Amino acid sequence: MKHIDKTHQKAYNDRLTLLVMKLRSSRFFSHIENRRGVRLFSFGAVAVACTIFGILIASNVDLTPESNAQISTNIGQTGLFPVVGHGDDMQSPFVAVVEKAADAVVNISAETRRAEGPWWYYGTQTSTSLGSGFFFREDGYILTNNHVIRDAVEMTVRTAAGYEYQARLVGADPQTDLAVIKVTPEEQIEVIPFGNSDETKIGDWAIAIGNPFMKEGLDRTVTVGVVSAKGRSSLNFGSDTPGYQNYIQTDAAINPGNSGGPLLNLRGECIGVNAAITSPTGTSVGIGFAIPINLARAVVPDLIENGRPSRGWLGVRMSKLTEKEAKRLGLEAVRGVVVESIVDNSPAQRAGLQHGDIVVGFDNKEVKNENQFSVLVSSVRQGEIVPMEVIRDGEHLSLKAMIGDRDTFLATIDEQNQQAPDRSGFWLGMEVIEFTPRIAEDIGAEHVAGLYVVGIYPGSAADRASIAEGTIIMKVDNEPVGTLSELEGAVDAIDRGKSRIPLIVQEPDGSIARKVIRK
């Protein structure tokens, strides 16, 4: 150990104290204090201080006032708390990322107009929403959220350099909450490259940048956290709820106005598009959600080329694999989805999928649940041949499917079934039969007047309304339906301009519910 005389002892202690104070004020300690209390906070501070003291002494570092030695302290092999600096000028590893990426983040002001009262009698009301976005191409293409620019009649983009542009909509996708807009830049713009969100791990650093309130001087705000979870789904955001969800969860603060901004890794790559928070107050409580950039990779080219996405279609209806079924099959973990039904002449049928198959792999990726599987399928372009791993009666099989186009299939179904059901009882994507006393006895249910749902076409209007096989349709648009002829009469009586049809149903569990099906 190098001798430290009394003349340098005070400087040594002062610098050690300064280092501990800076670490104590860091996000790590506030994170501990918020979650575990002040006692753990104090313990953490003492522990890190002791660690630093040991490192300084063991490293034979001379901390005299004249020393210009670079201090680099990494606690743990992962560099969890990297601190790099020169003397007192401590610098976090996030600075370089922010300096590289912040100028690519823009402020978006979207103006919408709507009628105030019926028939435009009271004129229109103008409202403006603020959000963020970022350049991902040097020719002015900007990625943001669909909900930031939805229904906008005018969009204004403000850049970090202070330039202001009128933007045009290139394409939007409400089902993923992504949108691409474009400006014609008069300046040299910075862009943020796409990373690989599949490689992102829980616990990785995450940096959120937003550009919400430029006029108030609150532009280009930066928050830091970690990736808290991946694959979040089944979240409800009201009317803005996307159909395809596979969110990255982060505790980096995402506040109002930051929607559409990038979530970055330490390489300065975008791993997600900040989209939403869960909060009782409307402000961040450390539960934020970002759309994985790999989902954007699949959607953005279609938005630029066609203005809308082209989704892959397999033609199956899936259900959750239960723990009991997984144990029966000898699976080490509950993973995969069960094939419940297959559309005739669909890619799934042509690939050889059968009822009861368990799909555990798709496109060389592990299948975890129904929602993730739906996202995987939709991300594949029409005509691509994709490998699938399937378990059938305990045997592992490898299949290949040529993916179809979901929108083409739905358009065909909608055209065939918009008005009245056919004689087999097929209407808006569901096949029904009369619910007879014999059927009620077979399924152990009490008999009621209605139509029994025996099939659902994946992606159809009935599927989107969350109508399941085994449901009993009791009323259509407030008209009782106990026979196919009554269903036909009820459908014929519906106003042709009516797009939302209310249903009264008995769920498979016996509960009575109201559903709304959209034509």
Q: Coil, strand or helix: which one is 278?
A: coil
Query: Is 147 annotated as catalytic?
Result: yes
What is the C-alpha separation between 502 and 517, in angstroms, rounded? Answer: 6
DSSP 459: T
Q: Which two tokens stand for residue 46?
A: 């003492």
What is the C-alpha separation between 385 and 402, in angstroms, rounded? Answer: 4
Catalytic residue among 177, 251, 357, 463: 177
Q: Which two tokens stand for residue 392?
A: 């059938």
Q: Coil, strand or helix: which one is 120?
A: helix
| AA identity, residue 30 | S
Place of tokens 């009993």: 472
Place of tokens 């900040």: 274
Strand pairing category for 288-292 and 270-277: antiparallel
Catalytic residue among 103, 109, 132, 147: 147
Query: Is 259 annotated as catalytic?
Result: yes
DSSP 124: E
Catalytic residue among 109, 132, 228, 259: 259
Helix segments in 365-436, DSSP class H? 370-378, 406-417
> Nearest-CA neighbor of 19 among 102, 86, 101, 106?
86
- What backbone phi and psi angles, to 5 degrees, belong to 351? -80, -15
What is the C-alpha separation between 9 and 3, in angstroms, rounded? Answer: 10
> Nearest-CA neighbor of 160 among 98, 206, 205, 207?
98
What is the helix, strand, coil percentage profile of the chain, to 5? Answer: 25, 35, 40
Question: How many Å separate Cα 56 from the centre of its chain?
Answer: 44
The vertex-188 CA angle with 268 and 170, nearest 5°, equals 80
What is the C-alpha separation between 335 and 367, in angstroms, rounded? Answer: 6
Q: 234: exposed, middle or buried (C-beta count within 10 Å: 0-12, 13-18, 19+)? A: exposed
| AA identity, residue 402 | M
What is the C-alpha separation between 334 and 316, in angstroms, rounded? Answer: 20
Question: How many Å separate Cα 212 from the centre of its chain?
Answer: 21
The number of beta carbons lying within 10 Å of the beta carbon of residue 130 is 20
Q: 456: exposed, middle or buried (C-beta count within 10 Å: 0-12, 13-18, 19+)? A: buried
The vertex-176 CA angle with 173 and 178, nearest 5°, equals 55
What is the C-alpha separation between 407 and 224, in angstroms, rounded? Answer: 39
Catalytic residues, by residue number, are 147, 177, 259
